[in-house]
Structure 1
Amino acid sequence: MIDFVATFIFFFAVIDPIGTIPVFIAVTRQYDERTRRRIARRATLISAAILIFFVVAGELILTAVDIPLSAFQIAGGIVLFLFALSMIFGESKPEQEVKMAECGHETAVFPLAVPSIASPGAMLAAVLLTENDRFNIWQQAQTTLTMLAVLAVVLVCMLLATRLHRFIGNSGASIISRVMGLILASVATASVLGGIKDYFGL
């Protein structure tokens, strides 16, 4: 059995459903309610497909190019840590991605599915939390289901985006995003230390 709470919090931090709300509103502001719901469902399905691909094939790709998983764990931890720092000290996730929505074409794929929901951090998490050497098939399935549960939360947040945004506002989403960044920085540090330990056999 995996630690469902820890896994859920990890994916919640890297996917950041609350931070997706202002992005979704910016992306869909010119559409009617029915179209918004369709975009929300499509973005969630695309994100799920991308993250499940990394669960299934991520480690196989690493093996094919002869990269030790411990090295990927260290590199992934560093990238996650830098991502977390940008969430804490730079523009928060919603601030960055709202700008993408304003500058680009509003679609369910970009910037909603990628990089808002299926972010680089979420892709790395999908690989790190389903390592074949550390987790059996049943545990990997549990992790995948937990990840999909977080995506279900994302979908609910998007469907209720207008009401939730009225309640928390951009400032509230920014604050939550920074708190998630702090949690993510701690998880990233643990990932780096674990990778170093595995690599050197400590």
Structure 2
Amino acid sequence: MDLTALSREFVTLFVLVDPIGSIPVFLFAVSAVPRKLHRRFALRATLIAGLVLFGFLVLGQLALEAIGLDLGSFQIAGGIVLFLFALTMIFGDTKSDTEIEEAEKHRDHLAGAVFPLAMPSIASPGAMLGIVVLTDNRTQTLPEQAVTAGLLLLVLIVTLICMFAATYIFRLIGHTGISVISRVMGIILATIAVDAVLVGLESLGLFEISPTAIPAS
């Protein structure tokens, strides 16, 4: 896997997990937790989200194949869902606003670090879809999938660091900064989603990505 592919996968995972967008969710989730427990809270949420995402990495495609679904079809469906998710990031409320609003409705039933922090903030539906799309058993060798797992672990570590420093980061960039970053990530995610649909169409033999279609610079 070359540097370009590594960078692409890291950016994809970073956008899908969105460590910056999880900061307001973390601050909301720990608002009733003693300050001395904040780091333990963040660590627990990251571990739970990591287990969910690594579960999809290992078992996602196997589950699809077990019920007779083609990964190409999943890539197309996942790409469409990710595109719609990206549109909400660009034009709608930010991820954190939506998740905090939902959590406010269920404040009496919050399960510690699980909801809304581990899921759906860190291990979002988009991240689960993206993990399966990135680890195609037919085109990705085991070492390449191990690299994807390593990149996911790196993104989760960045997420954990962001939560450890959440108060300082939020004080520095505020809601406005987080909103701007979220919308930029939405644009990147929309591009990734379109690419996933094209790759899915190609894998099903319905579309061919021709290198000659790109004009030489």
Q: Quote the residue 1:153 is aligned against.
A: 158
Q: Quote the residue 2:38 is aligned against.
A: 36
- Choose which of 99, 102, 105 in structure 2 pairs with 1:103: 105
Q: Secondary structure of the equivalent of 1:17? A: coil
Q: Which runs of 5+ in 2 are unaligned?
A: 209-217
Deviation (angstroms), 1:29: 1.1
Q: Quote the residue 1:75 is aligned against.
A: 77
Q: Which runs of 5+ in 1 are unaligned?
A: none
Q: Quote the residue 2:179 is aligned against.
A: 174
Q: Could you tell me the TM-score, scaled by structure 2's length?
A: 0.90
Q: Secondary structure of the equivalent of 1:135? A: coil
Q: Quote the residue 1:60 is aligned against.
A: 62
Q: Secondary structure of the equivalent of 2:140? A: coil
Deviation (angstroms), 1:35: 1.3
Matching of residue 134 in structure 1 with residue 139 in structure 2: yes
1:35 aligned partner, one-letter code: L
Q: Quote the residue 1:85 is aligned against.
A: 87
C-alpha RMSD of the superposition = 1.1
Aligned residue pairs total: 202
Q: Quote the residue 1:47 is aligned against.
A: 49
Q: Quote the residue 1:4 is aligned against.
A: 6
1:83 aligned partner, one-letter code: F
What are the superposed Cα offsets for residues 40-94 of structure 1, whole Å, 9 maximum, x if unpaired? Answer: 0000000110001001100010001100110000000000000000111111111
Superposition pairs of residues 109-120 of structure 1, within 5 angstroms: 109-120=114-125
Return the alpha-carbon distance in structure 2 between the equivalents of residues 104 and 136 of structure 1. Answer: 43
2:153 aligned partner, one-letter code: L
> Structure 1 stretches (4+) deviating beyond 6 angstroms?
none
Deviation (angstroms), 1:30: 1.9
Q: Quote the residue 1:144 is aligned against.
A: 149
1:137 aligned partner, one-letter code: L
